[in-house]
Amino acid sequence: MAIRILGGNVSPFVRKTRVFCAEKGIPYELEQISPLAPPEGWREKSPLGKIPVLEHDGRYINDSSVICLYLEKIHPQPPLYPSDPYEYARALWLEEFMDGGVVPHAGGVFRSLALQPVLTRKEPDAATIAAAEKVMNEQVAPLLAYLEAQLGTHEYFVGNRLTIADIAVASPFVNMRHAGFPPDKAKFPKLAEFVARMHARPSFKTCIEEERPVFGKRWK
């Protein structure tokens, strides 16, 4: 049975899962589902009401991190997790750093500056923009400084090759760019170059090109 990813394409977690599949060459179907207006019976598939959900052979798997680990098991080539135990742990940590650290702050900025204008057809006012800038400067910027240091002079975050860490780091930056906040090239030059490289990959480019007509008014 074909793999189906259930969730809205603008979610950084849905996008992470889609990019993971694309980098492995795993075919899948995407069913657009918004957690704000889920279909009847959604909680039977997603007990927490979150996206994405992976459907495979009539079974459902929740949480993007768990989903990617599952996909790695059933499609081990090319490997997107390091074999070295320490590097494996670092890759998982960077994924969690983004999912649990960066996204809660940056996600709110995306919602106020990119998502809400689409839903309400009203542009954000000056106060909303100022509040978003404050979050980016005070909450998100220190986290980006950590990423800048972790990347160092390397092209990838872990093991000098593409891993789940790179995919997990790059995905939320699509949402930040939708909101008009790409990584500051002056403050985070290495991170900015990394994000540009990752977003130019076909796996990311396909997702971005789908999203920009709807959410890309403030794209940078």
CB distance 5 to 29 below 8 Å: yes
Token readout for 46 is 């997603």
Please report the pLDDT score of residue 1 as a whole number: 60
pLDDT tens digits for 166-211? 999 999 999 999 999 999 999 999 999 999 999 999 999 999 999 9
Q: How confident is residue 217, by pLDDT bands cut at 50, 70 and 90?
A: confident
**Whole-angstrom distance, CA of residue 187 vs CA of residue 213:** 29
Count of Cβ atoms closer than 10 Å to residue 53 Cβ: 23
Q: How many helices, marked H, and strands, marked E, lie in the chain? A: 11, 4
Across the range 115-133, mean pLDDT stands at 95
* pLDDT (0 to 100) of residue 216: 81
The whole-model pTM stands at 0.97
Model confidence over 13-68: pLDDT tens digits?
999 999 999 999 999 999 999 999 999 999 999 999 999 999 999 999 999 999 99
Model pLDDT for residues 67-105, shown as the tens digit of each residue:
999 999 999 999 999 999 999 999 999 999 999 999 999
What is the pLDDT at residue 88? 98
pLDDT tens by residue, 149-159: 999 999 999 99
Q: Nearest 5°: CA angle at 81, between 75 and 141?
A: 130
Segment 95-117 mean pLDDT:
97
Residue whose C-alpha is closest to residue 111's, from 36, 52, 179: 179
* Nearest Cα to Cα of residue 137 among 168, 106, 104: 106
Q: What is the pLDDT of residue 2?
A: 86
Look at the chain and count its residues. 220
- Give the CA distances from residue 36 to residues 11, 39, 60, 103, in Å, rounded to whole numbers and listed in that order: 12, 10, 20, 18
Distance CA 173, CA 109 (A): 12
